[in-house]
Amino acid sequence: MHVAPPSTPTVQDHVALAEIELCGELMIAASAADGERLSSDRIDEVLNVGGPSALTTPVTPSVPPAPDGG
């Protein structure tokens, strides 16, 4: 079995990191919600999807975009 040395640079999957961040936002919203479930409207609000505001409000990702050709 071959194991990479500890000095190998880490690879970052920016899409996966963004998805993890969105899941975290949903968990925070769910923990603060009254009742057992979040409504579809609340989920859309947390994820900034659906409705006219999602089309007009620019979203600034907290994760930098993946480099081209990568």
Q: Report d(CA 70, CA 63) in Å as an integer.
A: 16
Closest CA to 63 of 11, 9, 13, 10: 13
What backbone phi and psi angles, to 5 degrees, belong to 45? -65, -45
pLDDT for the residue 68? 64
pLDDT tens digit string along 10-48?
A: 778 899 999 999 999 999 999 999 888 899 999 999 998
Q: Could you tell me which residue, 54 or 11, shows the higher pLDDT?
A: 11
Average pLDDT over residues 1-18: 78
Q: Could you tell me which residue, 9 or 65, shows the higher pLDDT?
A: 9
